Amino acid sequence: MRIVIIGCGSIGQRHLKNLLSMGHEVTGVDSSETVRHALWEELDVMVNPPDSKLIGVDAVLICTPPAAHLKNICEVANLGLPFFVEKPLGANSKELKQLCCGYPEWVPTMVACNMRFHVGPATVKRLIDEGEIGESISARFYTGSYLPTWRTGDYRQRYSATIGAVLDCGSHELDLALWMLGPAKLKASLVRPATAIGLECDGLAEMLLEHESGAMSSVHVNFIQSDYDRRIEVIGTKGSLKWNWNDLCVRIWKPGEKEHCLSFDSWRAEINQMYLDEMAHFLECVRDGKPTCNPISEAVKTFKLLMEVKHGGLVVT
């Protein structure tokens, strides 16, 4: 396929390299002359300035900072092109209405949800759906990391330092909660600033959800803890499941039985594999003209809940 990537920063370059490895024809769009030159020199990939026209394109990837997503989405949607947009879907609650109606329904769209394609959470989801632990009653989704060491350069200049941990980290964990347990309402939340790393944005948040299924879940996100920690725990009527980022298995407990570990191959847990699988899914849907697993119409529900958390339950539209 012929694919254009708008925004060739770190995640844009990851997708670019993956798409090339998958045999697709890729070009880019980026405002930085330095980036455009570097990608031409390194990968022999043409990266054009932002005013370039999208002609002869099968799909578009929007990998710009969140504040530019709505503008990029509208531009691509007006051309009727299938598109994939990185998380978070937007930067503020005022964009909600436009995000819901700014594109034709027949156009395949997808909002990034790479953690769904990681073998750990995917296995947890499969076991829940198969009834391995009966009916889900409660779950805990946790992620903690340290923003200053995510990438090279000054972390205070990254978009994460502007939008905060709720939007940046919560987009993943809240998406997993809704994916595994179904639609939910926000019952309570607490948000604290990232003063521990010298930032005024939110750096830590706790969310309590009540799902339509009757299950409850809690979601914790932060980017101020010095170690990396990511895990999922699910309690069911017939057992419980646990997954940890550092494990190559999902642990299963049932009454009267010993712990059982459902293991998976190490290559499936490699970080880049989930991005490859995510992109393969999107392009398959584009090719077949079918809905993706996380179209804007669904992802906007996650975005709305994140906005409720940031605004203390009040969403300004």
Q: Where do you find CATH 3.40.50.720 in the chain?
A: 2-113
> pLDDT tens, 241-279?
999 999 999 999 999 999 999 999 999 999 999 999 999
CATH of 2-113, one of 3.40.50.720, 3.40.50.620, 3.40.50.12280, 3.30.360.10: 3.40.50.720
Give 282-293 pLDDT, tens digit per residue: 999 999 999 999
Rounded to the nearest integer, the mean pLDDT of the chain is 93
**pLDDT greater than 60 at residue 314:** no
CA distance 217 to 209: 5
The most confident of the ranges 10-19, 43-52, 295-304 is 10-19
Average pLDDT over residues 5-33: 97
Angle between helices 160-168 and 170-181 (to 10 degrees): 20
Cα–Cα distances (Å) from 187 to 61, 140, 217, 305, in that order, read 34, 15, 10, 10
Segment 58-101, tens digit of pLDDT? 999 999 999 999 999 988 988 889 999 999 998 887 777 777 65
CA distances from 102 to 180, 205, 294 (A): 28, 30, 16
Q: Is the pLDDT of residue 106 over 70?
A: yes
How much is the pLDDT for 274?
98
Distance CA 317, CA 314 (A): 10
Class of domain 115-270+295-310: alpha beta
- Confidence at residue 152, expressed as pLDDT on a 0 to 100 scale: 80
pLDDT tens profile 195-234: 999 999 999 999 999 999 999 999 999 999 999 999 999 9
Section 150-165 average pLDDT = 90
Which regions of the chain carry the CATH code 3.30.360.10? 115-270+295-310
